[in-house]
Amino acid sequence: MKRCLFVDDSSVIRKVAKRILGGSDIMVIEAATGLDAIEICATDMPDVVVVDGGLPDIQPADLIRRIRGIESSVKPQILISLVEVDVASIMRAKRAGAQGYLLKPFNRAQLLESFRTLKIAA
């Protein structure tokens, strides 16, 4: 079973993601802050990390770099989650090590398509 870490300060976004992905052979782990996400990744690196583009405690590119810097046999796929297409934010995230982006609010089809693109979900 694949593990996905959803890092978002909105409990609603995390809950929606968990509901959508929970039935697709993916275990969703939640983090409300970037620092919580770093602790989770350092303990047990997930297969996928979705990083909110507007976390209150850390810039998304910094979080992505810190996750990439953690020694692990698992090299996660990373997406940045944005409320609008912001090319500068997407490019910063990609330079830091993200594979792509996800727009929110998302629905089931959009979220699953993003995961299929990463070859995570069927």
Question: What pLDDT does residue 23 have?
Answer: 72
Mean pLDDT of the chain: 93
The residues spanned by each domain of the chain are 2-114
When pLDDT is cut at 50, 70 and 90, the band that residue 24 belongs to is: low
Highest mean pLDDT among 19-33, 78-92, 103-117: 78-92
Angle ∠(101,106,111) on CA atoms, nearest 5: 65
Judge contact between 64 and 78, C-beta under 8 A. Answer: yes
65 Cβ contact partners less than 8 Å away, ≥ 6 residues apart: 96, 97
Question: What pLDDT does residue 121 have?
Answer: 60
pLDDT, tens digit, for every residue of 40-60?
999 999 999 999 999 999 999
Question: What pLDDT does residue 120 have?
Answer: 75
User: pTM (2 decimals)?
Assistant: 0.94
When pLDDT is cut at 50, 70 and 90, the band that residue 84 belongs to is: very high
43 Cβ contact partners less than 8 Å away, ≥ 6 residues apart: none
Topology, domain 2-114:
Rossmann fold (3.40.50)
CA distance 63 to 12: 21
